[in-house]
A and B are shown apart, each in its own frame.
Chain A
């Protein structure tokens, strides 16, 4: 059984078994290594990608239910030019070890699509990705900065 996906705008035929989580299809079959494994149980968000424009934890989404799905990963976020979040992330020096940041950025991108000028409470509610390195204060700051820039500010 094969599953047709559009990954970062490119048509792809996935051949992994249908029970394979999307995370491992992306990494082991498509060699898109930007999306990370942190826990495998949907608790940490390191594996966050967009499916049909919505943020999902790809470690917990089996391939079998994704025929025809549009998938966007960190590799597509900065194409053709860096997302305002990525620029803001560098300006605020958000990453420490960086391992959680692909998922963090994808979650933040989904938040900004839904809520272009999020409040701190919006950020609290949406950004549940785990970061053991403590980048949270800078994540918050960079989301505000990117939101302002996208809104035509600074």
Chain B
């Protein structure tokens, strides 16, 4: 895709428009004619202060300033002096497509090439401006530490002085990039720009937004998914001092131009008050009547639905691409036939069923957003939105105004793991501000956050493998189903970063999609969470069935995946794979490829009388190039602990289509005392395009844990959480 690098674009165009966001209410950037805008990402003040813009929404993945690091590298800047700001929510900043959103572990991998050019173009323009001033060849000038230096004469000019002239120069479309050997920013453990505010209480999250006249609201959505609000008597809430209004949200369905499905918000009651406490008291005083269905799914019922769908309706997946008429179906038939033939002629077949529960995201910041209706009927909204452009478009449609009138500040969020990609909370805040006739800050209670999540879908997978006399895999079949997703299919049909890593003869995967009122959505590493647990546990089972070492068993399957092989060998060595351990202890291995990165982990567990202690987890990770290596290591720690916590106790249960759990007492989270030692080793593949870092270290943990438990006890886990197997994490 040809990327047109532009000098002006988003930032300069803001002056005077209604959309003055992220730069001050009065459009400070455009108003200050002194600041030179070299591109949508680079602004230089007369004193030489460089401000780099990022569209990354920071949710704890540590990627907020990575775009700035890439640009700063090419510009030859001193990182300590760089200022980073959130870019306005304009489509030019879109990461994987025009839009404005963060997810898919895409912040580096989708923008790497483009941002290097952005930085290099700005550098070229500054160097050329200096060379022109000095009437010397540009080739004799270098950009270093915020200045351009003419080597021969020693003359220097600061970026601040050069920027205006530089900004008037043509933007080079294919500037020379700094060679890797000269890097001083990328690949260094330099401090994150968002951290200082996170240790002194000044970092602003949605619940911290203050605006004159802003009221606080909280919400109860229909507890049974899909139920309607029949009636609510507002009097008990209104009787509480501080409660201002009780709003009834019914039948909100937003048709957004160009979107295949309307955006539907659950029926809800919203209590608007002077502060959160009266709002919450008001909510608890209400007794809304809901028109509910009967016989909606319970936990077991949902699983039954998935099993039935997997075993009766799963369709064999084919790789992405264009097929001639009938060709896709023919290929699917051939794949299925090859698998059946391989299984039929195998020396023996092994078949196992794996299931996965619903998981909650439960970020530390319950969903929240603030909004006001502007005098011209538009919106100014604030929140930790992962999909700000989606919010703008759906809010515009909801209000019947042009999208240009929807202004949205993308704030830091207190965690997300994918939850905040759905804009329900933002739309609710906007809806409430309009209905209340006042700016509203909507803060979901923790209970609402747990009960109205966009859950990691539940799953059922049946895996069947054929083994020949030598114990090699011949024939590998997976049929599976998830609610509101088709995770099994995506291992074959998905984009390159979702594809199954192993090379096995006679492979076929068939998936079924089960539409369910229980909302299912992306949860850190998405399809890979359940798929990796099932596949890597099953591979381990096959190894043990053949008496093979799990490490050795995997080697022939990874001959076409050298990077996966390399991290696997590395982590096995780091963990001392193969060493004898005392009774009740075991090591478990798992390796998984996702988001264009590869990750292998070994877990060391100790099991005694139902108590499970994870002593250590080793992780070897290759994302090609780590822009902020320490940040990537931190994501390893983060992924491993989230996965471990979820494996230990994570399950969301259903009763007649309502979620049972409600807070951290019944959806617990791992404590510091339970955390294992974690070692993350980064391996690089400099010639490969960078891969993701926020999610790909999640999938291997659960199967590594399960495999370690098998090694320690002989007990094989085919579902989670561990509590189902009588194991308590200590």
Contacts and interface: CB of A to CB of B under 8 A. Distances in A.
Interface of A: 16-17, 20-21, 24, 27-29, 31-41, 43-44, 46, 73-75, 77-78, 82, 86, 89-90, 93-102, 105, 123-125, 127-140
Chain A CB count within 10 A is highest, among B443, B639, B642, B664, for: B664
Contact of A99 (B195, B365, B446, B637): B365
B59 A124 contact: no
Interface in B655-692: 663-665, 669, 671-673, 675, 677-678
B665 A43 contact: yes
Contacts of A97: 58-60, 198, 363-365, 412-416
Contacts of A43: 663-665
Contacts of B274: 28
A27 B365 contact: no
The 8 closest A-B pairs by CB, nearest first: A34-B201, A99-B414, A98-B198, A97-B60, A134-B641, A28-B275, A96-B60, A124-B673
B640 A96 contact: no
12 contacts: A17-B242, A33-B201, A33-B208, A35-B201, A41-B446, A41-B664, A90-B191, A96-B60, A98-B60, A98-B414, A125-B673, A136-B641
B260 interface: no
A57 B198 CA distance: 19
A92 to B, nearest CB: 9
B200 A130 contact: no
B452 interface: no
B255 to A, nearest CB: 34
B60 A133 contact: yes
Contacts of A129: 672
Interface residues of B, number: 64
Given A41-B665, A93-B192, A99-B364, A133 B415 contact: yes
A34 B277 CA distance: 17
Interface in B366-385: 366
A32 B208 CA distance: 9
Interface string B175-219: 000000000000000011011111111111101101000001000
B486 interface: no
Nearest to A126: B672
A46 B364 contact: yes
Given A93-B192, A95-B198, A101-B199, A132 B62 contact: no
A128 B443 CA distance: 24
Given A74-B200, A78-B200, A96-B634, A133 B241 contact: no
Contact of A20 (B58, B277, B443): B277
B276 interface: yes
Nearest to A73: B201
Nearest to B678: A137
Contacts of A82: 199-200
A98 to B, nearest CB: 3
Interface string B636-661: 01111110010000000000000000
A37 B412 contact: no
Given A35-B201, A99-B364, 14 more contacts: A20-B275, A33-B207, A33-B210, A43-B665, A78-B199, A93-B630, A96-B62, A97-B413, A98-B412, A127-B673, A130-B364, A130-B664, A131-B672, A132-B363
B276 to A, nearest CB: 6
A130 B194 CA distance: 21
Chain B CB count within 10 A is highest, among A40, A82, A105, A125, for: A40
A134 to B, nearest CB: 3
Interface in B394-421: 412-417
A56 B211 CA distance: 29
A13 B322 CA distance: 70
Nearest to B417: A132
Contact of B640 (A95, A134, A139, A140): A134
Contacts of A133: 60, 364, 415, 638, 642
Contact of B365 (A36, A135, A137): A36
Nearest to A32: B201
Chain A CB count within 10 A is highest, among B241, B242, B663, B673, for: B673
B365 A123 contact: no
A89 B201 contact: no
A75 B673 contact: no
Interface string B301-332: 00000000000000000000000000000000
Given A17-B241, A89-B199, A96-B61, A28 B276 contact: yes
A10 B642 CA distance: 40
B131 to A, nearest CB: 39
Given A96-B638, A97-B413, A128 B198 contact: no
B631 A93 contact: yes
A2 to B, nearest CB: 15
B364 A131 contact: yes
Nearest to B209: A33
Contacts of B677: 137
A143 to B, nearest CB: 10
A83 B195 CA distance: 15
Contacts of B207: 27, 33, 36-37
B124 interface: no
B166 interface: no
B362 interface: yes
